[in-house]
């Protein structure tokens, strides 16, 4: 359970970095031991690879985003060895003048490093409609 | 590299099961050691949890899908301990009368079990447009 708590904290730090547009915190959130293995999918985007391109994308996204607050729900943490997989629903409240707030789902893969859990994969995707055929 | 090849084969088996609408092969692809940890996101869908609901969703999707063929590109495999993370782009050719074929990106997490690599997380998302702000 100690692992779970540490992973949950690392996961929360990612969203806090985004909320506060903190570029330094965003850099700390992501793994720098295997920079080529860093992968990020923003909702609706193609896959970005490599720590450099991924961090640049976050800088662009944060610069272009009005204030957003995330309420994470349905958070599940699965730790196996030095890998942790977090799956969750991102409920986003924005300051933009939109009729309804957005929902996305995310898979975040963390690696245990000497200085803690660092993000290797962030895959977020839009929830576009109701569940069909389920 | 032997691990990588085995993981690639497990990953390919997932898409072959879908292409051939093979329910038995789809069941074999997914982990049954920790059924509650199974997670699946179909493109644009909310997150489904649990082996039972996930397999039922695949049966529904396969029953409702005209023939599709997947060409995977940009496949990257990262193995650490008994966990493997595959990220790739799913290029889909369908038999439907559509103007253009679809593209999605996927993150697939496999666990090493006694009988091989089994899928624990499949997260696929639609690529909705061009990269912006990058």
| Cβ contacts of B83 on chain A, cutoff 8 Å | 80-81, 83, 85
Which of A4, A36, A80, A110 to probe by mutation at the B interface, max B CB count within 10 Å?
A80
The CA–CA distances, whole Å, from A68 to A10, A22, A58 equal 19, 13, 14
Nearest CA-CA distance, residue A64 and chain B, Å: 8
pLDDT of residue A2: 84
Whether B3 contacts B84, CB under 8 Å: yes
Neighbours of B78 (CB within 10 A): 20
Which residue of chain A has the CA closest to B53?
A134
Q: What's the CA gap between A15 and A13, in Å, rounded?
A: 5
Q: Is B73 helix (H, G, I), strand (E, B) or coil?
A: strand
Nearest CA-CA distance, residue A126 and chain B, Å: 6
Q: Is the pLDDT of residue A102 over 90?
A: no
Q: What's the CA gap between A51 and A30, in Å, rounded?
A: 8
Q: Is the pLDDT of residue B134 over 80?
A: no
* Cross-strand partners of B108: B86, B122
Show the DSSP H helices in chain A as ranges: 2-19, 23-29, 51-63
> What's the whole-number average pLDDT of chain B?
91
Q: Is the pLDDT of residue B95 over 80?
A: no
pLDDT of residue A92: 86
| Cβ contacts of B65 on chain A, cutoff 8 Å | none
Give the residue, B19 or A100, on which the prediction is more confident: B19
Nearest alpha-carbon partner for A80 in B48, B50, B34: B34
> What's the whole-number average pLDDT of chain A?
91
Is the Cβ of A61 closer than 8 Å to some Cβ of chain B? yes
| Cβ contacts of B134 on chain A, cutoff 8 Å | 48, 53, 56-57, 60
State percent of chain A over pLDDT 70. 90
State percent of chain B over pLDDT 70. 90
Whether B91 contacts B73, CB under 8 Å: yes
Spatial neighbors of B130 by CB under 8 A, at least 6 apart, are none
Q: Residue window 102-121, chain A: list those with CB within 8 Å of chain B.
A: 103, 105, 107, 109, 111, 120-121
User: Rounded to a whole number, what is the largest CA-CA distance in chain B?
Assistant: 45
pLDDT tens digits for range B45-87 = 999 999 999 999 999 999 998 888 899 999 999 999 999 999 9
pLDDT of residue A66: 81
| Cβ contact, residue pair B80, A85, below 8 Å | no
Q: What's the CA gap between B4 and B6, in Å, rounded?
A: 5
Nearest alpha-carbon partner for B124 in B54, B23, B27, B64: B54
| Cβ contacts of B87 on chain A, cutoff 8 Å | 39, 47, 49, 121, 123
Average pLDDT over residues B85-104: 78
Nearest CA-CA distance, residue B49 and chain A, Å: 10
Is the Cβ of A59 closer than 8 Å to some Cβ of chain B? no
């Amino acid at each position: 359970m100690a692992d779970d708590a540490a992973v949950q904290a690392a996961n929360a730090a990612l969203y806090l970095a985004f909320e506060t547009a903190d570029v330094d915190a965003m850099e700390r959130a992501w793994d720098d031991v295997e920079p080529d293995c860093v992968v990020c999918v923003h909702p609706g985007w193609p896959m970005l690879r490599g720590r450099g391109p991924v961090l640049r994308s976050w800088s662009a996204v944060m610069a272009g985003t009005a204030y957003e607050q995330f309420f994470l729900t349905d958070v599940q943490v699965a730790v196996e060895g030095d890998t942790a997989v977090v799956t969750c629903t991102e409920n986003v409240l924005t300051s933009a003048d939109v009729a309804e707030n957005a929902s996305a789902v995310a898979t975040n893969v963390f690696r245990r490093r000497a200085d803690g859990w660092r993000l290797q994969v962030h895959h977020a995707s839009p929830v576009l409609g109701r569940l069909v055929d389920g």
